[in-house]
Amino acid sequence: MIITVKVKPGAKSTELIEQDESVMIIKLKAIPEKGKANQELIRFLADHFDVAKSRITITKGLTSKTKLVTIL
């Protein structure tokens, strides 16, 4: 599965804000520094989709707020 995720780092808590067929909007508590927000996004998606973290890859947008994520 390939999904587009828009993240809002530096929020008070990590939570899913909106989800439809084309995009997920997620608030992340972590700040976008040294990959912390990306790591938190992978942990959140692994819990949300009930898959191992190793099955989730950010394929595009590592330094962007809009990311393309592949879930195997």
The third-level CATH classification (topology) of the domain covering 2-71 is Conserved Hypothetical Protein Mth637; Chain: A; (3.30.1200)
Considering the chain, what is the average pLDDT of its residues?
96
11-60 per-position pLDDT tens digit = 999 999 999 888 999 999 999 999 999 999 999 999 999 999 999 999 99
pLDDT score, position 21: 84
The pTM of the full predicted model, rounded to 2 decimals, is 0.94
How does DSSP assign 14-72, residue by residue? -EEEEE-SSEEEEEESS-SSTTHHHHHHHHHHHHHHT--GGGEEEEE-TTSSEEEEEE-
Domain segments of the chain: what residues?
2-71
